[in-house]
């Protein structure tokens, strides 16, 4: 049985930047929970950020500069995001995890679309810091809106 790394907020933990959760409620999700497949982590908390915390977004980098994660108040929290991503990767490796379900649009966990760094709720193509690191290491990343795609992938591998 494949374990699945999951953003802790999706499990109902109040670790979002605003102190709330993003609990997923679906029969598929509940089945995975009952099977003990879901392994939770909040990369932002694992990286040392408090809850609540100011909202942060990945700033559109100059092609010659490294990606930076900046809070709405102007604080550079890139190092905490990187530490959290590394903690998620360590946990995935420890648990032999090949799949992750991460919070959509998050600067840590977003896959495919993230907020553009303007704090205007505008989306742009890209991955969060954790999603990108996990993907670079062969872990397939899905969002909470892609549970059916993950189910199909699990069937493909015979799980």
d(CA 88, CA 111): 15
Structural domain that includes position 102: 4-53+80-156
Is there a domain that residue 62 lies in? no
Is there a domain that residue 40 lies in? yes
Is there a domain that residue 35 lies in? yes
* DSSP state, residue 74: S
pLDDT of residue 155: 95
Number of domains in the chain: 1
Question: For 3-13, how does the pLDDT look when each residue is reduced to its tens digit (9 = 90+)?
Answer: 999 999 999 99
CA nearest to 58, candidates 41, 40, 82: 82
d(CA 140, CA 54): 29
Q: Quote the pTM value.
A: 0.95
Is there a domain that residue 73 lies in? no
| Burial grade of 81 (CB within 10 A; 0-12, 13-18, 19 or more) | buried
To the nearest whole percent, how much of the chain has pLDDT over 90? 94
Q: How many helices (H) and strands (E) does the chain have?
A: 5, 8
């Amino acid at each position: 049985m494949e374990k699945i790394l999951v953003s802790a907020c999706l499990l109902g933990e109040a670790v979002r930047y605003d102190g709330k959760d993003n609990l997923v409620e679906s029969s598929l999700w509940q089945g995975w929970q009952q099977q003990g497949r879901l392994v939770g982590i909040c990369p932002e908390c694992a990286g040392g950020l408090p809850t609540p915390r100011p909202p942060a977004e990945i700033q559109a980098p100059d092609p010659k500069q490294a990606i930076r994660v900046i809070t709405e108040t102007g604080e550079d929290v890139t190092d905490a995001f990187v530490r959290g991503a590394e903690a998620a990767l360590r946990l995935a490796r420890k648990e032999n995890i090949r799949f992750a379900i991460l919070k959509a649009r998050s600067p840590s966990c977003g896959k495919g679309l993230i907020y553009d760094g303007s704090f205007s709720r505008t989306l742009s193509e890209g991955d969060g810091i954790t999603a990108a690191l996990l993907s670079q290491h062969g872990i397939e990343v899905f969002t909470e809106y892609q549970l059916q795609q993950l189910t199909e992938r699990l069937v493909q591998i015979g799980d």
